[in-house]
Chain A
Amino acid sequence: MIAADRPEAALFISRELSWLAFNERVLEEAADPSVALLERVKFAAIAASNLDEFFMVRVAGLQQAVDEGDTACDLSGLTAAQQLAAVAERAHRFVGELYRLVGDDLLPALTAQRTRLLAFAELNEAQRVSMAAFFRDSVLPVLTPLAIDVERPFPLLLSLSLNLAVLLDAEPGETRHRLGIVQVPSGIGRLTRIPEPEGAAFVLLEDIIRAHLPQLFPGQPILEASVIRLARDAEMEFDDEGGRTQLELVERELRRRRRSDVVRLEVEASASQELIDRLCTQLDVPAESVYPVRGPIDLRVLMGLVDLPGFEERHDPPLQPVNVIAGEQTDLFSILDQRDVLLHHPYEAYDPVMALVAQAADDPDVLAIKQTLYRTSIGSPMIASLQRAAECNKQVTVILELTARFDEERNIRWARALEEVGAHVIYGVRGYKVHAKACLIVRRTPRGLRRYVHLGTGNYNERTARIYTDFGLLTASRKIAEDISAFFSALTGYSDPPRLNKLVMAPTGLRQRFLRLIDRERRRAEAGQPAEITAKMNSLIDGEIIEALYAASRAGVRIQLNVRGICALRPGMPDASENIEVVSVVDRFLEHSRIYCFLNGGDEEVYLASADWMTRNLDKRIELMFPIEDALHKAKVLGALRAMFRDTVKSRWLGGDGRYHRRGPSPGELPFRAQHELLLEARRSSVTREGVGITFHPQQHEPSRSQGRPKSPG
Chain B
Amino acid sequence: VPDTQSHTPELVAVFDMGASAIRLVVAEVAPTQPIRIVEEASRGVLLGRDTFSGGVIRPKTADATFEALDGFRHIVDSYSVNQVRAVATSAVREARNSELFLDRVRGRSGISFEVINEAEESRLVYLAVRESLRGHAALKGAATLLAEVGGGSTSLTLLRRGRPNRSGVYALGAVRLRQQLDLRRHGHDLQVALLKHSIANVIEEIGLEIPLARVTQMVAIGGDVRLAASQIAQHDGDNGLRGIERDAFLTFCDEVERLDEDALVSRFRLPAVEAETLVPALLVYRALLSATRAGRVIVSDATLRAGLLLDFIEPVGRQAVEDFERQVLASAEAVGHRFRFDRAHGLHVAKLATRLFDELREDHGLSDRERLLLQTASLLHDVGVYVSLRGHHKHSQYLLAASQIFGLSAEETAVVSNIARYHRGRAPQRSHLAYVALDRNDRLVVTKLAAILRVANALDAEHLEKVQDLRLQRRGRAWVLEIDASGDITMEQLAAAARTDMFVEVFGRQLAIRLSGVTG
Contact = CB atoms under 8 A, between A and B. Distances in A.
A367 B79 contact: yes
A367 B80 contact: yes
Contact of B78 (A395, A448, A511): A395
Interface string A99-139: 00000000000000000000000000000000000000000
B17 to A, nearest CB: 15
Contacts of A478: 36
B42 A509 contact: no
B37 A482 contact: yes
A615 to B, nearest CB: 14
B83 to A, nearest CB: 14
Contacts of B107: none
A511 B80 CA distance: 36
A64 to B, nearest CB: 28
A272 interface: no
Contact of A482 (B39, B43, B71, B78): B39
B431 interface: no
Contacts of B71: 489, 492-495
A492 B271 contact: no
B269 A449 contact: no
Interface size bracket, A side: 20 to 34
B269 A512 contact: yes
A447 B4 contact: yes
Interface in A437-495: 442, 444, 446-449, 478, 482, 485-486, 489-490, 492-495
B6 interface: yes
A442 B79 contact: yes
Interface string B6-38: 101101000000000100100010100000111
A313 B325 CA distance: 85
A496 interface: yes
Contacts of A507: 269
A122 B449 CA distance: 116
A495 B42 contact: yes
B28 A494 contact: no
Contacts of B41: 486, 489-490, 494-496, 498
Contacts of B42: 495-496, 498
Interface in A365-413: 367-368, 395
B2 interface: yes
Interface string B265-280: 0001101000000000
Given A447-B2, A449-B11, A489-B75, A497 B40 contact: no
B475 interface: no
A246 interface: no
Interface in B340-380: none
Contacts of B43: 495-496
Contacts of B75: 489, 494-495
A492 B74 contact: yes
B271 A497 contact: yes
Nearest to B42: A496
Contacts of A446: 8
B72 interface: yes
B44 interface: yes
A542 B201 CA distance: 47
A509 B269 contact: yes
A700 interface: no
Interface string B62-75: 00000000011011
Interface in A485-543: 485-486, 489-490, 492-499, 507-509, 511-512
A448 B37 CA distance: 12
A485 B80 contact: no
Interface in B213-257: 230
B6 A485 contact: no
Interface string B124-139: 0000000000000000
A447 B1 CA distance: 11
B298 to A, nearest CB: 19
Contacts of B24: 495
A368 B26 CA distance: 15
Nearest to B270: A508
A485 B271 CA distance: 20
Nearest to A494: B71
Interface in B393-428: none
Given A395-B78, A495-B72, A496-B21, 7 more contacts: A368-B78, A447-B9, A449-B36, A482-B38, A494-B72, A496-B42, A507-B269
22 contacts: A367-B78, A367-B79, A368-B78, A395-B78, A444-B80, A447-B8, A448-B36, A449-B9, A449-B79, A486-B39, A486-B40, A492-B74, A493-B71, A494-B71, A495-B24, A495-B41, A495-B42, A495-B72, A495-B75, A496-B41, A498-B41, A509-B269
Interface of B: 2, 4, 6, 8-9, 11, 21, 24, 28, 30, 36-44, 71-72, 74-75, 78-80, 230, 268-269, 271
